Amino acid sequence: MAGLVRRSILALAAAGLVAPAALAQTRAERGAIGPYGDKAAPLTVFEKDGVLHIDGMGHASARLTATGAGRYAIAGGGALVLELGAVRLNGTRLAFHDFGAETEAAIRASVRADPEALRRLALAATPPVETGEFLPPDLVDLTTVDPRIKLDIRYAGSNNFMGIPLYERSGAYLQRPAAEALKRAQDALGAQGYGLLIHDAYRPWFVTWMFWEATPPDARMFVANPAKGSRHNRGCAVDLTLYDLKTGRPVEMPSRYDEFSGRAHADFMGGTTKQRALRAILREAMTVQGFEVYAEEWWHFDFKDWRRYPIGTKTFTELAGR
């Protein structure tokens, strides 16, 4: 794995996406990357061009200079020390936090109380009434669009923030114009050695209801309000990432998919130079084809014509049997 990472960084460096200095970063420094302290105003340690930086708590993208034994001088003044599971900023200890995992654990605990009751209530709920003229739905199965487009539909299993299957089967559908645009994005990415890996596309409205009910109010910027319906419900939103065409492996981005934390934001400055470069490659390919990234989620893209389609309620079973 270390050799693969090094070769990937070398390739990105050759393309001008990562500075050669990134190769010199130590394992300890890579392990230190992440958020520390308070969720509302964390200190973020990140890598830029092979050098650690910090942001937050009075520091704005401040470069760290190693002074020995896990100690660093902060540009502009101050000192930071790396510790096991923490950093010490000017003498104050700040614990590392995986804020996304902590929120996910709370949601899963709530859902486990009675998942079937939550599903029954969702299926009995009534979608919002919409007025105006809409185009007739024309959902396309993305597995028929391009063989390089792969699926990892998280809501068809339990590997998701809810911890339960939401869909009856694995599938990914988009309205035809959006599906055609996605193929063009794949063509452009294929020339760069990448494929698209789809985590979600069309989503029945009742699942949006379940997400909203299960998510704490302070994390609801990551889920759509069912009172308005989501762009996923309209078949015009897609959650996706990149995978390497040669290895078949997903690339590493600044956050996990469906991570409920600031690391998920499309312009999050943290992570590594390589991760941010790959995020930019994905974003460029998608926006050129008429998709717009959702500011809170680097993986979520909305197709430009989403307003022209109605909220969909068909289940995956119904779509498969049409």
**Residue 145 maps to a domain:** yes
Q: Domain boundary residue among 37, 63, 95? A: 95
Q: Are residues 121 and 90 in the same domain?
A: no
Q: What percent of the chain is modeled with pLDDT above 70?
A: 92
Residue 105 falls within a domain, yes or no?
A: no
Residue 188 CA, chain-centre distance (Å), reads 21
305, two tokens = 């014509």
Nearest to 303 by CA among 203, 200, 182: 182
- Choosing from 61, 95, 129, the residue where a domain stops is 95
Residue 5 has pLDDT above 70, yes or no: no
Count of CB atoms within 10 A of residue 286's CB? 24
Q: Output the pLDDT for position 25.
A: 59
Query: How many domains, the chain?
Result: 2
Q: Is residue 267 assigned to a domain? A: yes
CA R_g for the chain: 21
**Domain of residue 25, CATH code:** 2.40.128
Same-domain check for residues 270 and 307: yes
Beta-strand relationship, 79-83 and 86-89: antiparallel
Instruction: Please report whether residue 102 resides in a domain.
Output: no
pLDDT of residue 28: 80
Same domain for 298 and 187?
A: yes
127 and 9 in a common domain: no
Say what the pTM is.
0.89
- Domain CATH code at residue 174: 3.30.1380.10
Are 254 and 309 contained in the same domain?
yes
pLDDT at 144 over 90: yes
pLDDT of residue 290: 98
> 234: alpha, beta or left, given left = phi > 0 and alpha = psi -120 to 50?
alpha
- Region 5-32: mean pLDDT is 56
Residues sharing a CB contact under 8 Å with residue 162, sequence separation 6 or more, in sequence order: 107, 108, 111, 155, 210, 211, 214
Q: What mean pLDDT is predicted for residues 162-177?
A: 96
Secondary structure class of 200 (helix, strand, coil): strand
101 part of a folded domain: no
Angle between helices 115-124 and 205-214 (to 10 degrees): 130
Q: Of residues 320 and 239, which shows the higher confidence score?
A: 239
- Is 108 among the domain residues? no
- pLDDT of amino acid 185: 98
pLDDT tens by residue, 191-207:
999 999 999 999 999 99
Q: Which residue segment(s) compose the domain that 89 sits in?
A: 2-95
What separation in angstroms does the CA of 298 have from each of 14, 45, 191, 239, 288? 25, 19, 22, 9, 16
Structural domain contains residue 260: yes
Chain centroid offset of residue 11 CA: 23
Residue 62 domain-assigned (yes or no): yes
Same domain for 264 and 188?
yes
Looking at residue 322, what is its pLDDT? 65
Q: Are residues 89 and 131 in the same domain?
A: no
pLDDT above 90 coverage of the chain, percent: 89
Shared domain check, 40 and 134: no
